[in-house]
Amino acid sequence: MSDANRRKSGRKRARRRKRRILFAIEIVVILFLVVALFVVYKLDLADTGNKKDVEMATVNDEVQAQIEDKENDLWNMDGYTNIALFGVDSRDTNLGKGARTDTIMIASLNNKTGEVKLCSVFRDTYLNIGNDTYNKANSAYSAGGPTQAMQMLNTNLDLQIDGYVTVGFKALVDTIDDLGGVEVNITEEEIHFLNDYQIGTAEAIGIKQSDIVNVKSAGLQTLNGLQATSYCRIRYTKGDDFKRAERQRTVLTQLAEKAMSADVSTLNDIVDDVFPLCSTSFSKDEIMEYAVKAATYKLGEQSGFPFERSTGTMGKAGSSVVADNFSQNVIELHQFLFGDSDYTPSQTVQDISSKIQSDRTKNGV
């Protein structure tokens, strides 16, 4: 194999690895599908019907024109429902403005096939945060709640976000506990960091420090909700964020398997615990409509945006993830979410791309 082919093959493998990265918010998608039939009985638990947040989030004119032109759907966006999923690290019950989004994800539902594709937007990605200022992506939700966060996604990515779901940090802890914990093979290196993270996680979600159960030895063992969530947060061992993503995959895979085989009583407990920790723009009628179709949905590919990226200090934004050729990354996103299309980045996206490149050059990234 030539050097050029080896480099090309290496880039493809690296891209596939990036696209397999999962984040803790994915459990929300899984649970929504698994427990949907119980939603009918539990609708009053969730904060539903915040439709004004979606209506206030503007859509680029060129995107709107493509959506309205049903006969010439060049971008192939018709027939998809795009949902923004936000995971907030809230130290109280606040799921709106002021809360920090540790996780930002787009769930794109193909209404014909029932396939759901998931794409995370890395929280430190340097973007137009929805008001023509540039900062890390996670600052949009803190500054303007779900409205500004959705507007950020629409503006930068040539999308129309149809709705959102926000969950509190405590949702993952409660879900793991309701499912009886997860089995994880803990290494010696991870023990210290796992126990250290338990302290901050417990404080954030209102668990008494006296109720923390420290992990004392390495090896395969069952972790409770606090332990497993803290395990997902470890980022200081060898592998950094990529190893953290692997830990999250380990936990989420087990949760998905256990949730799919859980009995009625367990699923009921999950709904009782998780739904009060959710805020969504979907009305009760809309949730019921999706619930009826839950059995037809299936999780497809997962990915992370930007696909090709660098890291560096971007002025006042600090250490950031910066797209290598932002416009090209948006093209790849549309290909990933919507398949074959004749998508060409809007003038808005091209302007954002130029601005990001200019700031990158200025900061030497």
Helix 347-363 / helix 326-338 crossing angle, nearest 10 deg: 130
| CATH classification for the domain delimited by 21-168+274-363, as one of 3.30.420.590, 1.20.1440.120, 3.30.70.270, 3.30.750.24 | 3.30.420.590
Helix (H, G, I), strand (E, B) or coil at 22: coil
| Residue 153: pLDDT over 50 | yes
Residue 176 dihedral angles phi and psi, to the nearest 5° = -60, -45
pLDDT digits (tens, 9 = 90+) for 104-128: 888 898 989 988 888 888 888 999 9
For residues 153 and 161, is the Cβ–Cβ distance under 8 A?
Answer: yes
For residues 80 and 67, is the Cβ–Cβ distance under 8 A?
Answer: no
Residues in the chain: 365
Mean pLDDT for the chain overall: 81
- Per-residue pLDDT band for 17 (boundaries 50, 70, 90) equals very low
pLDDT digits (tens, 9 = 90+) for 194-242: 999 999 989 988 899 999 999 999 999 999 999 998 998 887 887 566 5
Residues of the chain above pLDDT 90, percent: 39
Q: List alpha helices for the chain, DSSP H.
A: 3-19, 26-34, 36-42, 51-56, 61-68, 139-157, 170-178, 188-205, 225-233, 240-260, 264-274, 284-292, 326-338, 347-363
**First-to-last CA distance in the chain?**
33
For residues 139-160, give the mean pLDDT.
95
Which residues sit opposite 118 in a β-bridge?
107, 302
**Domain 180-261 of CATH type 3.40.190.10:** no
Instruction: Select the highest-mean-pLDDT range: 54-63, 98-107, 144-153.
Output: 144-153
For residues 73-80, give the mean pLDDT.
84
Of 36-45, 117-126, 144-153, give the lowest mean pLDDT range: 36-45
Query: How far apart are the C-alpha atoms of 37 and 296, rounded to whole Å?
Result: 13
Domain limits of the chain?
Answer: 21-168+274-363, 180-261
| Residue 150: pLDDT over 90 | yes
pLDDT value of residue 6: 52
Greater model confidence, 171 or 155: 155
- The reply to whether 21-168+274-363 and 180-261 are identical in fold is no
pLDDT value of residue 36: 46
Q: Report residue 7 CA to chain centroid gap.
A: 30
Pairing of strands 298-305, 115-121: parallel
